[in-house]
Structure 1
Amino acid sequence: MSKETKAQRVERIKREKDGLDVFADIYRYAKSGEDIDPEDIDRFKWYGLYTQNTNLQEREDKTLYFMLRVKLESGRMDLNQLEAALEISKRYARGTADFTTRQDLQFHFIRVEDLPAIFSCLSEVGLTTAFAAGDVARNVVTCPVSDVDKERLYDVEAITKEVNDYFDANREISNLPRKYKVGISSCPKHCASHEIQDLSFNAKKSEEGEVIFDVSVGGGLASNKRIASHIGYIEPHQVLAVAKAITEIYRDYGNRENRNRARLGHLLDALGVEQFIEILHSKVDFRLQLDDVQKYTPYVNREHFGIHKSINEGRSYIGCAINGGKIGAEGLSGLIKIAKKYDVTAIRATTAQNFVITDLPSENAVFVVEELKEMGIDAEPSVFKARTLSCTGINFCKFAVSETKDLAAKLVEHLQRKFPHFEERLSFSVNGCPNSCAHPHIVDIGLLGCKVKRNGESVSGFELVLGGNLEGDKSSFGRKTGIKFAADDTFRVVESIVESYQGSHYKNFYDYAYGIIYE
């Protein structure tokens, strides 16, 4: 008998036991202490669990530790949820806590025996890990200030909740061909980055002045490195129906033979856009509308930093930057103290691993900004810190070959000292492996983890990627330059790129990067 392929193994595992059914097994393993079936470990993903790297583990410690990802719907955390997250971080996760690019919160050093207590703690404050990972619909990303921004086109809170509720632990769609990422936004700055979502809905004004949502399909990174295709417009009340229909199309038509060709974008390419739309139309009782494709904000400017007046009288919101989402127990504790002191009711994580304090009395805003700065959190971040992403890295991720989060923070500090008068905002990604968790192909300067040879030895390093940008049909993925270097040469290499740009004739970094690659 021939050996199972990776795809065959995964599909068999899902057929034999739905990923949602592993929940009871998690409790059984927690109570019994027995070794976990490797196939159940794969199913653990349906509840946000991944085995983590042993890089920071003591040699004598044989514990199987997990990373746990918690879904934050619309990126939102109220005070009770912040306090629950702090409790989990301190008691069960060795002080770890990171915001992700899907507006989730993840912890490390999680033991199976602690999961019942953790799940109970999360449930008490309305949080869940279900569908935070696995071959399912992941957390629906959205603009963090949709409900408070004076410039929003439409409040998408109710629509986003409808779609999240449809996805929530839904057994009809608990076995998709691969992961499936959806975004819904009315943000005038397009901060949900629809271009790299499997499915997204973006509000715009029609020629008649009515709000409609453009539907974009098939975006992605890694094996599905593809800018989403715009397929038409719908009315706000039709978003849920289209989300259901396209999810079912993906479930029923998606490739289950090759996991590297199994994302929705691959299906769109296989069917062709016209046939895909025909199938969609057969599943709904309306047709997509035609209208001009809207213009989009360049990726580097998709943010909400600083103090802004809310639509709610006397209230404000504050956009804040942290380094690579690394908030930790100390940061959570600081946020809770600020919230209690200044009447902050909630924060929301962003798709750039930052967060927004979404509701506080306007008279307290300046004081909050000052206290955040003492914590290393900036409401007016430098041009280097504002748009810097970093993945989990070698400390915890089994796929990574290079450390990321600490390096990203130190790189920002170095560039701030070296170029104090640099004015153009640049976007960075420090990615610990050849995959795309930190989105290295959509930023100005991407560092793609790899092994490099130095003095005959293989050491952790990076390959330089330049020239990524998201801007609707003007989007472009960054290109590998072929420049590879050891991790401890990162400052020198990035510094030399910035200096080279400053000495060039180019008026912006994107044109400079394009020239470097193609000239």
Structure 2
Amino acid sequence: MPDLRFQSQPPRHTEVPRPKRAEGQWSLGYTEPLNKNEQSKKDDDPLNVRARILHIYSKRGFDSIDPADLRGRFRWMGLYTQRKPGIDGGKTAVLEEEELDARYFMMRVRSDGRLLSSQTVRALGTIGVDFARDTADVTDRENIQYHWIRIEDVPEIWKRLDDAGLSSLEACGDSPRPFLGSPVAGVAADEIIDGTWALEEIYRRYIGDPRFSNLPRKFKTALTGHPSHDVSPETNDVSFVGTVHPEHGAGFDLWVGGGLSTNPMLAQKAGVWIPLEQVPDVWEAVASTFRDYGYRRLRSRARLKFLVADWGIEKFVEVVENEYLGQRLERTPSPASPTGHRDHIGVHEQKDGALYVGIAPTVGRVSGTLLVQLADLMDAYAVRGARLTPYQKIVLIGVQPEALEPLLDDLDRIGLSARPSQWRRNTMACTGIEFCKLAIVDTKNRARDLVAELERRFPDLDTAISVNVNGCPNACARTQVADIGLKGQLVLDDDGNQVEGFQVHLGGATGLGANFGRKLRAHKVTSAELDDYVTAVVTAYLAQRTDGESFADWVVRADEAALRGEALRAGVSA
């Protein structure tokens, strides 16, 4: 229902800065494609590839796929060719794409903050068992990600997803990528506002809409009405963050221009108040501004963050209002940032008297079988549903108090603990070289081994220290905003051999004190010495911290010797 206080006015033109050279901005008259990606999207709307997958490629097999579809438009259907086994990280930037391609696909299934019933969780599990060699990972985009998918099986997978109310549509590509929603929307006792309707409406109106299937690059959305800002709003292209206006009550602020990768930027806060029913319209206005004014010449500068950085937040909001929304948004101070983030792990009371329970697979690695087991427990204990989180975790919603203790025991039994160690709770990892064509090093297995070793060395760690492990510079695991961020690259060991290793970022954070981790000049760690390096840094922190001092705050004042883990050379290994 429209809010009568916010009646649209006819759009009016806003004078925008003209770049010194053509950047491929449609609204400035630069409509001819300036690179192969733009040409491919102009040649054929990527949404049209769905029909070819269903009626041609799935019937004729992998060799029938047009390369322009295979390495381009398939992404709009949530499909990437996965990395051919046996190719080391040194070849990642050397080989052509077709040389890296396996004949199998990674598939991303979007959840968009939805509450997943036990039947839906079971469907996700059986897809992994039947078609993906029992793979299934929980990603930090609240997706389920499969591997080893055959093109012949895609129609049946899509049918099962449709039946379960899910989709892989626009899970990748230059499109509105999967949304991040609060895992505890509608149930948390301290929630400011429930944004569930807005995310559902954005999906209903705009996903699969050709008006938004050709954006300059990926476009990531987050929305939360929880005061902990539990969707990492600082690192998304567009975020709606719960706030309270002194006169109008609960609504959302607008944050735009966040993104990491090789040129990280934190989102800028608009300081506005948006009622729930207007959120989809504002989303459309922001996406339209990006579509029409975003830079399309260079892929490396095509994210929304570059446009926002060049224009400034005031000019960006002015264009959104005047050219697309047709009204001025109510101004109000942005909400205060919380300390750290809320992952919702453990047992928490809901506002209706039931409980929600956050559980922690290690670095998001689950399996089809494990999801089926989880669905069985959800049925056995009458759990209302599950949501995926932006931290590669799962939250069970609507647990009855009398069922709690036996449920916790059974979750421990299948390996999904609601009582994890600090290390298991706070470590994330991207897909890595096991399947990703962009990766340089192993991540999932290395991170799991790291967690196990740190649990042995620091079994009673009394504070949260986040460790984010990424296989390349693209920062899918949010390397720069972790306490310990590890960016995969090839490094030289003591004998001069090129081996897997990591550039280290220390002291990154979101929330209050949001910042990017500190990098030390020429400081890299081999994968083999990672356990000892992290041990040395954490040991120094525990010895030097003041009362209540966080790891990130300690990093700011710590000397380089401690941050470089020089105790490692002195035999810190346990």
TM-score, structure 1 normalization: 0.94
Would you say 1:512 and 2:571 are equivalent positions? no
* 1:379-398 → structure 2 map (5 Å cutoff): 379-398=418-437
Residue 108 of structure 1 and its aligned partner are, at CA, apart by: 0.2
Counterpart residue number, 2:500: 460
The superposition leaves residues 333-379 of structure 1 with CA deviations (integer Å, 9 ceiling, x where unpaired) of: 22022112111231100000001001232211121111111222221
- Contact 2:183/2:388, CA 8 A, preserved across alignment: yes
* 1:184-333 → structure 2 map (5 Å cutoff): 184-208=223-247, 210-233=249-272, 234-282=274-322, 283-299=324-340, 301-313=341-353, 315-333=354-372
- Contact 1:63/1:111, CA 8 A, preserved across alignment: no
Amino acid at match of 1:167: Y
Would you say 1:137 and 2:179 are equivalent positions? no
Residue 431 of structure 1 and its aligned partner are, at CA, apart by: 0.8
Higher relative contact order (CA 8 A, sep 6+): 2
Q: Which residue of 416, 419, 423 corresponds with 1:377? A: 416
Amino acid at match of 1:49: L
Q: Which residue of 144, 162, 166 corresponds with 2:201? A: 162
Amino acid at match of 1:16: D
**Identity rate, percent:** 35
Counterpart residue number, 1:3: none
For 1:395 and 1:173, the matched residues in 2 are separated by 32
Counterpart residue number, 1:493: 533
For 2:413 and 2:540, the matched residues in 1 are separated by 34
Counterpart residue number, 2:167: 128
For 1:508 and 1:113, the matched residues in 2 are separated by 51
The superposition leaves residues 144-199 of structure 1 with CA deviations (integer Å, 9 ceiling, x where unpaired) of: 11111111111111111111222211111100000001111101211011111111
Amino acid at match of 1:50: Y
- Contact 1:309/1:362, CA 8 A, preserved across alignment: no
Residue 505 of structure 1 and its aligned partner are, at CA, apart by: 4.7
Amino acid at match of 2:239: S
Per the alignment, do residues 44 and 191 of structure 1 end up closer, same or farther by CA in structure 2, a change over 3 Å counting?
same
For 1:400 and 1:471, the matched residues in 2 are separated by 29
Counterpart residue number, 1:368: 407
Per the alignment, do residues 8 and 418 of structure 1 end up closer, same or farther by CA in structure 2, a change over 3 Å counting?
same
For 2:316 and 2:190, the matched residues in 1 are separated by 34
Would you say 1:11 and 2:51 are equivalent positions? no
For 1:56 and 1:48, the matched residues in 2 are separated by 24
Per the alignment, do residues 17 and 517 of structure 1 end up closer, same or farther by CA in structure 2, a change over 3 Å counting?
farther
For 1:276 and 1:308, the matched residues in 2 are separated by 39
For 1:76 and 1:69, the matched residues in 2 are separated by 17
For 1:508 and 1:165, the matched residues in 2 are separated by 42
Amino acid at match of 2:537: I
Counterpart residue number, 2:66: 37
Amino acid at match of 2:133: R
Q: Which residue of 44, 47, 51 corresponds with 2:81? A: 51
Structure 2 gap segments, 5+ residues each: 1-32, 88-100, 562-574
The superposition leaves residues 453-500 of structure 1 with CA deviations (integer Å, 9 ceiling, x where unpaired) of: 23333211111111100125x310113223212212110111111112
Amino acid at match of 1:514: V
Counterpart residue number, 2:572: none
Counterpart residue number, 2:143: 104
For 1:263 and 1:63, the matched residues in 2 are separated by 28
Residue 92 of structure 1 and its aligned partner are, at CA, apart by: 0.9
Per the alignment, do residues 441 and 517 of structure 1 end up closer, same or farther by CA in structure 2, a change over 3 Å counting?
farther
Number of residue equivalences: 508
Amino acid at match of 1:498: V
Amino acid at match of 1:226: M
Amino acid at match of 2:316: F
Residue 74 of structure 1 and its aligned partner are, at CA, apart by: 0.9
Residue 237 of structure 1 and its aligned partner are, at CA, apart by: 2.2
Per the alignment, do residues 464 and 266 of structure 1 end up closer, same or farther by CA in structure 2, a change over 3 Å counting?
same
- Contact 1:139/1:164, CA 8 A, preserved across alignment: no
For 2:433 and 2:253, the matched residues in 1 are separated by 38
Per the alignment, do residues 432 and 83 of structure 1 end up closer, same or farther by CA in structure 2, a change over 3 Å counting?
same
Q: Which residue of 49, 57, 80 corresponds with 1:22? A: 49
For 2:529 and 2:34, the matched residues in 1 are separated by 38
- Contact 1:440/1:465, CA 8 A, preserved across alignment: yes
Residue 503 of structure 1 and its aligned partner are, at CA, apart by: 2.3
Amino acid at match of 2:103: L
For 2:150 and 2:135, the matched residues in 1 are separated by 14
SS in 2 for 1:470: coil
Counterpart residue number, 1:76: 115
Q: Single out whichever of 233-242 and 441-450 deviates more from structure 2.
A: 233-242
The superposition leaves residues 111-143 of structure 1 with CA deviations (integer Å, 9 ceiling, x where unpaired) of: 111111111111111111001000001112111
